[in-house]
Amino acid sequence: MDVTGEIALPENVEMVMPGDNVNMEGKLITPVALEKGSKFAIREGGLTVGAGVITEVL
């Protein structure tokens, strides 16, 4: 399922490079059922630019 959204990096992080780990918050434009432990991918222009695991649902 593809859902558009935005991510917010922590204040002290300007950019994330391959191999880096970061905690971030994401906000989706469409309500979607999410659960802790689910995997997700971040795509831009048809390319996967990031991937992660949901650690907390706010």
- Count how many domains the chain has: 1
pTM to 2 decimals? 0.80
- pLDDT of res. 58: 86
The CATH number of residue 40's host domain is 2.40.30.10
Q: Phi and psi at residue 50, in whole multiples of 5°?
A: -170, 160
Domain limits at 39?
5-53
In a domain, 23, yes or no: yes
In a domain, 58, yes or no: no
Per-residue H/E/C for 1-58: CCCCEEEECCCCCCCCCCCCCCCCEEEECCCCCCCCCCEEEEEECCEEEEEEECCCCC
- pLDDT of res. 43: 94
Kindly state the average pLDDT of the residues 29-49. Answer: 94
pLDDT tens per residue across span 2-38: 999 999 999 999 999 999 999 999 999 999 999 999 9
In a domain, 38, yes or no: yes
- pLDDT of res. 1: 85
